Structure 1
């Protein structure tokens, strides 16, 4: 007997799978759910707990439903490999947002194009981000958080109190790495 299986994924802890679940349940009666929460799509499919369990569970004739292709992964090759694994087991894959069956030749072609476009967009975003950082540096803008400690004060307190890195970090409410940087900057021992 074939089953309708749903897979939902969110990337961060502050996100919820509720919208994906509700959208799937509006159109399909689901026999089994597989979930990955706070799991990046950059993690290979086989290394994600929920999707790994799904791949082991499915049988010929089953249908896997996802809210959108990007729930399967963010890397075109990984998404295509996952869909191919499912198809080779005789499992159909439906994507609701894109509106196609990825087990058909047309669905596979659409999947390849959409996955490639999504990957290209992520690359373009990263490139624009790197260009913005480069431009900000060239304009002399400070990047990162504003420094809240005085390296000399940290270094002097540590020296005066013969304190460890940990004790100094606790005293100033900063990280041990900040203490080390402050001591390096002030040319004291670390």
Structure 2
């Protein structure tokens, strides 16, 4: 019996998979969910825990549903490799946002064009961002948000209380990424 499988992914801890899940559930009855949270798209698909599990689980006749094609990877090669792996197993891939079935020749052509355009757009955004940063530095402007925590205080409190990163983040009302950065910075200053 074939299964309907859903895969959802977010890149950072600040993001939620709720929208992706709700959109998929509105249109499909899902038999099995695979999730990657706080997983960068730069990590190859097969190396992500959730997508790796999906690739092992999927069988011939199954259908994999994603909210958007960029959930499978951030570059054309990675997305196409993942789709090809699934296609070789006889698994269909549907992308809701783009609205096509990637198991068909037309769907694969659309996939190639969309992922290439997305990659180009990300490259353009990064280029504009770097140009803006360069201009701001040349004008002597301060970059980034003003720092609100003392790295040594965070690292010291965490060590004295044998606290986890999460508990430290909650204590200081900061993100877990800020705790990691503070501990790293404090360690480098002490060295």
Distance 1:147 1:99, change over 3 A: closer
2:186 maps to which residue? 176
| Aligned-residue RMSD, C-alpha | 2.4
How far, CA to CA, are the matches of 1:145 and 1:7 in structure 2?
34
Structure 1: state its 5+ residue gaps.
149-165, 181-189
1:86 maps to which residue? 86
1:161 maps to which residue? none
Structure 2: state its 5+ residue gaps.
157-181
2:16 maps to which residue? 16
Compute the TM-score of the two structures, normalised by the length of structure 1: 0.76
Question: 1:144: Cα distance to partner?
Answer: 4.5
Question: 1:142: Cα distance to partner?
Answer: 3.4
Distance 1:12 1:80, change over 3 A: same
Question: 1:146: Cα distance to partner?
Answer: 5.9
Secondary structure in 2 matching 1:128: helix
Distance 1:147 1:10, change over 3 A: closer
1:34 maps to which residue? 34
Larger radius of gyration: 1
How far, CA to CA, are the matches of 1:68 and 1:133 in structure 2?
30
How far, CA to CA, are the matches of 2:49 and 2:123 in structure 1?
27
1:45 maps to which residue? 45
Distance 1:37 1:176, change over 3 A: closer
Distance 1:55 1:135, change over 3 A: same
4+ aligned runs moved over 6 Å, structure 1: none
Residues 53-82 of structure 1: per-residue CA shift (max 9 Å, x gap): 000111111100001101111111100110
Residues 129-186 of structure 1: per-residue CA shift (max 9 Å, x gap): 11111112222323356689xxxxxxxxxxxxxxxxx89x96xxx8536857xxxxxx
Give 1:31-110 correspondences, 5 Å limit. 31-110=31-110
Compute the TM-score of the two structures, normalised by the length of structure 2: 0.76
Give 1:128-143 correspondences, 5 Å limit. 128-143=128-143
Report the count of equivalent residues. Answer: 160
